[in-house]
Structures are given as C-alpha cells and as structure tokens.
Amino acid sequence: MVTAQKKYEFEPDYAVPPGATLQEIMKSLEMTQKDLAARTGLTEQSLTRIITGVQPISYETANRLELVTQVPARLWNNLEAQYREQMAKLAERKMSPSFDSFKGRDHQNGR
C-alpha cells in the first residue's frame, strides 16, 4: 500500500484568541462590547480579557455567548481549546529552540 508523505507541514508561529472571532461576530451583529456585556451578564473588563486572550472562555461563558450571538457554545469551546493548545506549542518551541532544527534534519533525511 502506497501512502502519501507530508513534505511540508504548516506550523504557525502565532495563535489567534477566540476573542478575535467574538469581535467579528459583534461587528456583524452591530453590537458594542458594552451591549454584549449587558446581554451576557459579563463585565466589560472580562470581555476585554477574553478578546485579548488573557481570560479563557469558560463553559458557562460559552453558553451565555450562544444565547446572545446564536453561535453554538461548542464553537466557542473548540476555539478556546485550539487557542490554548497552540499557545502551549508556542511556549514549548520557545523553551526548546533546537526542536525545530532537529525536526528539519529529520525531513532532510527522509524521516
């Protein structure tokens, strides 16, 4: 059986917080941060921290966002999980800079 080899892997050197999507949704709904805070029962400060990626979106917050934006809570939860995973990968790469060069040698040697 022949299997395709991945020659190029995309490993972004950045992470996009779920708050970026939240901002886009707010814009499309013509909703200000103050409006969203009032409708969700969150503080504007919490929303600012969520938008910047400092504060994670909890399951409860995801449910509140779903009620207000009609965007499913599972999407908010998935975006949050992917963001935190990517942040962990970036932190690991920063701690182990030799990992990228080692990985590059494996690709050059056909591994």
User: Which burial class, exposed, middle or buried, applies to 110 when counting CB atoms under 10 A from its CB (0-12, 13-18, 19+)?
Assistant: exposed
Evaluated on CA atoms 28, 33, 34, 37, the torsion sign reads positive
pLDDT digits over 65-92, tens only?
999 999 999 999 999 999 999 999 999 8
Ranges of H-type helices in the chain:
18-28, 33-40, 44-52, 59-69, 73-95, 98-108
At 39 the three-state DSSP class reads helix
pLDDT of residue 51: 96
Instruction: Give the CATH number of domain 18-99; options: 2.60.40.3140, 3.40.50.10540, 1.10.260.40, 1.20.140.10.
Output: 1.10.260.40
The whole-model pTM stands at 0.76
Mean pLDDT of 14-26: 95
> Domains of the chain: which residue ranges?
18-99
pLDDT at residue number 81: 96
